[in-house]
Amino acid sequence: MVFYIGASTAAHQIEGNNKNSDFWTQEQLPHSIFKEPSLDAVDHYNRYEEDIDLLKEAGLNAYRFSIEWARIEPEKGRFDEKEVAHYQAVIDYCKKNGVEPFVTLHHFSSPKWLITEGGWESEKTVEYFRRYAEYIITQLGDSLNFVCTINEANMGIQLAAIIKRILTQMGINIQVGVNMALGEEQQVQMKENAEAFGLAENEQANTFLSQRTEKGDQIIIDAHIAAREAIRSVNKNIKVGLTLSLHDLQLGDDSEKAKELVAKAWNDEFLHYLPAIEEDDFLGVQNYTREIYTENGVAKVEDETHLTEMGYENYPQALANVIRKVAEVFKKDIYITENGIAASDDRQRVEFIDTVMSGVSDVINEGLPVKGYFHWSLMDNFEWQKGFSMKFGLIEVERATQKRTPKPSLAYLGERGKAFN
């Protein structure tokens, strides 16, 4: 059986000019929370052949990328056949070059119209997403073997936990989803967002990365299940799953409180999704770091020299630990659909890959059903609110000219991957 060694991307972060999406809308606001707009991004929409060539030449045999819902359905109920043809061309080029396409149907960005309709806190989204999934598989499914419905279905919960943690440290106790007294800047941002999406002045624009309520979490679960069933109704041969962002949760002391906090965090991040994914064909595990819990909560990393550019700990050993914990209760195939490091010095990325791949080899030798590894990301890209400052890529992109330069880490990943096949 083939072991897949590849890299991952997300449409909005690399394609450019995703003008009908919610993120594009937010990026253009006068008081945007985004450091800078995505604009042409790294122009993967027009340069995908070159990028897939570089992936192939390095020895990688799979490419995980997303189809942009806002391109496919730019207006509610109107599907764009030209954009479908574009993604068919990307899939065909992968297959022509012996690269397995792993398609994600939703990777954070959504059509602008969906947010106007209530976004990811509206029950209507379940049917809208089901309809979109059915359309894509009807059009493209014969060319696909693997489909991820939703990227990091738990991201809104994680963001809510981070915000709550910060507020608690400030002495503020508030429930997620309840409006709090906003500063002047936040009030202006909320008003601009509401106006941009055609909402009432104080109405929340519920994008996928808004902090999640319990209702919103269930809507995402229901959307995944509906999409999975729609995919199978069209093509039973496609393997379907979703991806989850998972931390390596560790105890910093032996207190009962620390144990309770770890147990709650693992339930929130992973365990409570088990009923929804038990009928899936695989799980996409996405891991970047660990969190250490003491009786006082998540401990601060003391040695700041061990932080990545994103501000969290450089701890590549986390991935193998997470896989082992997931495999205790999820008995189907596991694909590592994202794992990487934000680092301007590519030597750090090579060291990170070296440790990670040793861990992946270990868990496979232990008999765990890991079937593939996708590094984040294929190229330096638009890292959402942080703009283009974070360097996650295996390929450097000079944005003024869009010139691609493979980093040593790309070839190193391809070389390490040879041992798995």
Burial 229-267 (b: 16+ CB within 10 A, else e): ebbeebbeebbbbbbbbbbbbeebeeeeebeebbeebee
Burial of 298 (0-12, 13-18, 19+ CB in 10 A): middle
The pLDDT score that the predictor gives to residue 168 is: 61
The pLDDT score that the predictor gives to residue 169 is: 61
The pLDDT score that the predictor gives to residue 175 is: 53
d(CA 158, CA 212): 8
d(CA 346, CA 328): 34
The pLDDT score that the predictor gives to residue 176 is: 47
The pLDDT score that the predictor gives to residue 170 is: 57
Domain 4-152+212-420 fold: TIM Barrel (3.20.20)
Are residues 129 and 223 in contact, defined by beta-carbon separation less than 8 angstroms? yes
Two tokens, residue 338: 């994202």
Which pTM does this prediction carry? 0.96
Q: Helix, strand or coil for residue 338?
A: strand
Q: Which segments of 124-192 are extended strands (E)?
A: 146-150
Q: Helix, strand or coil for residue 316?
A: coil
Q: What is the chain's pLDDT, residue by residue, as a tens digit (421 residues)?
A: 899 999 999 999 999 999 999 999 999 999 999 999 999 999 999 999 999 999 999 999 999 999 999 999 999 999 999 999 999 999 999 999 999 999 999 999 999 999 999 999 999 999 999 999 999 999 999 999 999 999 999 999 998 887 776 656 656 555 544 444 457 888 888 899 999 999 998 899 999 999 899 999 999 999 999 999 999 999 999 999 999 999 999 999 999 999 999 999 999 999 999 999 999 999 999 999 999 999 999 999 988 889 999 999 999 999 999 999 999 999 999 999 999 999 999 999 999 999 999 999 999 999 999 999 999 999 999 999 999 999 999 999 999 999 999 999 999 999 999 999 9
Decide if 366 is catalytic.
no
Q: Which of 100, 121, 134, 152 is catalytic?
A: 152
Domain ranges of the chain: 4-152+212-420
Q: Helix, strand or coil for residue 292?
A: strand
d(CA 136, CA 87): 10
Task: Tell me how far the alpha carbon of residue 409 is from its chain's centroid.
Answer: 21
